[in-house]
Chain A
Amino acid sequence: MAVSFEVPRRGSTLKEIWIQFKQASRLGWLIESNWADPFVFAVYSLIRPLSTALILVFMYLVVVRGSTSNPFFVHLYIGNAFFMYAGRVMMGISYAIIDDREHYEMLKYIYISPLKIFVFLLGRGVAQVITTTVSVLVILLLGLWPLGIRIPWSSLNWPLFFISFPLGIIAIAFMGYLIAGLALVIARHSWAIADGVGAVLYVVSGAIFPIDILPSWVQVISRAIPLTYWLELLRRSLLGSSFSPSFNTMPDWELFLWLVGLTVFFGFLGYFVFQRMNIVARRKGLIDQTSGY
């Protein structure tokens, strides 16, 4: 990789953080577009997500045998589309750690302070947000036109959407940071960890079904992660109604407060876990490890 990434040495003034963030985004973009020869890009951003969405479409059609404008289907479809951010951004961030460790061996150079790594990873996440947005838009277009999903354009709650959306992305980034911390100390199955957390969240956050259907102990987890509230807020702002009956009575502001609170909580958790694991990793000499695959 002929990309150099310089870490400002002293202080962490806002300007320096901004510079670092920009550099990291650029790096992330270069890495992304590195494997983005058109075919590879199409595979990751179109073929795979479209197939997954269509699996859900056919699952719905075979059981309900009704029209795709049914609110249940619309909620499911929208949830699945936006969940892509969780999967891809979170993985983008934690893979940055694994990737750097195993491919670019850059991690040892960026090991300066947790704040700086955080900014670095966030920058990498930005590149993921951009490419994911492409996929999400394609999926939504597919929903609008051939599948005939109806969105109540006149009653859309844009303000709610535009404050909830970025907040959720930040929450996702924090969770990616958390996983990255765990990936630091797990050499062998670090890929599986990132994939596994994504899969767990897909179930727990109720992306494609109302969480009420989950066993009650799982619902406790659902209510403890920001993604659940984020998806709920997005559905409300776009569709004007809840997916899950148990959220029906909760006003928007309460959902929003939960999202804010949990985002902050995960921010701190991510920070401390990362710092802790960072120390463990250094003490055990795991930073430079490659798992030789």
Chain B
Amino acid sequence: MRIPPPLELFIRSIIGRAYPRVIGANRELSWLIPETVLPLLGLAAYVYVYRAMKAPTEFVGYVVLGGAMTAYWLNILWSMASQFYWEKETANLQLYIMAPVSPMAILLGMGIGGLVASTIRAGAVIIVGSLLFGVTYQVSSLGLILLVFFLSMVALYGMGMLLASLFLLSGREAYNLSNALQEPVYLFSGFYFPVKSLGFWAAAVASIIPLTLGLDAMRQLMFPGDPTLGFLSPWVECGILLLLCPLFLYLAKVALVKMERAARIKGTLSLRWQ
């Protein structure tokens, strides 16, 4: 019996768990069509509203960017937060917990796999949406944009990992909660309008969802038309995201340990028993 070095085991597990998500996105390519067309239709309606109101052109860019980002939020809700519910049904969860690796590796694998799969969808929406509605980008510092994107994704998937751990014990509640969080977050994170218009305090509270600040910063950096529309300066937003990343990852780890323990006490790691 060979006991692999901890780091090797950790990385192998991440790759192992990410694999079905990455490969799944490729194998079921036919899903890419509805998953691109649906958000495009949704954002098209909003684009026309802005046009009808004679909004400045950068608003079209706001909407396209926000519409693309819905792919990530949907992924967090349906493939992270409520994931363990499905994993229980297929009895995978107990196999993951039983493996000699920290369940954090499994969560990270889920997150990274989901990130890759969602990026394909978001990318398709951005490209088609930009071409369709003639969005022009004014990128001044690509480096900062990439940094913001990276940080918001780490923080977002950290949050997804936290939600997944918190719902380790639950059954259908996770599914209901995912349903309940979909549109409200589109609203509070400002997917289709600058979050600043919610007012300072509402926007500040909404900033706990990493996409809020991520979107706001990316919009400011890609469409610098009206600087008064930004919530905070991109650098400040970057800084806050930088704090959110370790916070969510740490909380996810703590929650995971607690929930695993609770599940072992209550006997809820599998739905069925024979």
Contacts and interface: CB of A to CB of B under 8 A. Distances in A.
Contact of B34 (A43, A61, A189): A189
A62 B193 contact: yes
Interface stretch (B45-53, B207-215, B217-225): B45-53
A221 interface: no
Interface centre among A64, A76, A213 (most CB of B within 10 A): A213
A58 B33 CA distance: 30
A58 B49 CA distance: 12
A59 B46 contact: yes
A1 interface: no
B50 A63 contact: yes
A147 interface: no
Interface string A33-60: 0000001100110011001101110111
B41 A59 contact: no
A203 B67 CA distance: 15
Contacts of B30: 188-189
A158 B246 CA distance: 59
Q: Is the interface of A mostly helix, strand, loop or mixed?
A: helix
A200 B40 CA distance: 10
A72 B53 contact: yes
Nearest to A200: B41
Nearest to B191: A55
A271 B239 CA distance: 59
Contact of B41 (A43, A52, A62, A199): A199
Interface residues of A, number: 35
Contacts of A43: 176, 179-180
A213 B183 contact: no
A214 B187 contact: no
A202 B42 CA distance: 8
Interface in B1-55: 30-31, 33-34, 37-38, 41-42, 44-46, 48-55
B48 A214 contact: yes
Given A47-B180, A199-B38, A59 B52 contact: no
B181 to A, nearest CB: 9
B84 interface: no
Contact of A202 (B45, B52, B196): B45
Given A47-B183, A55-B187, A210 B52 contact: yes
Contacts of B49: 56, 59-60, 76, 208-209
A50 to B, nearest CB: 8
A202 B180 contact: no
B50 A203 contact: no
Contact of A59 (B54, B182, B193, B196): B193
B85 interface: no
A196 interface: yes
A52 B176 contact: no
A134 to B, nearest CB: 17
Contacts of B229: 62
A200 B44 CA distance: 9
Nearest to B182: A48
A203 B180 contact: no
A203 B44 contact: yes
B34 A192 contact: yes
Interface in A13-49: 39-40, 43-44, 47-48
A64 B54 CA distance: 9
B52 A213 contact: yes
A199 B42 contact: yes
Contacts of B192: 55, 59
Given A47-B184, A48-B184, A203-B45, 11 more contacts: A43-B176, A47-B183, A55-B191, A58-B193, A199-B42, A208-B45, A209-B45, A209-B48, A210-B52, A213-B52, A214-B48
10 contacts: A40-B176, A47-B184, A55-B183, A58-B198, A59-B46, A60-B49, A189-B30, A189-B31, A199-B42, A203-B48
Interface of A: 39-40, 43-44, 47-48, 51-52, 54-56, 58-64, 72, 76, 188-189, 192, 195-196, 199-200, 202-203, 207-210, 213-214
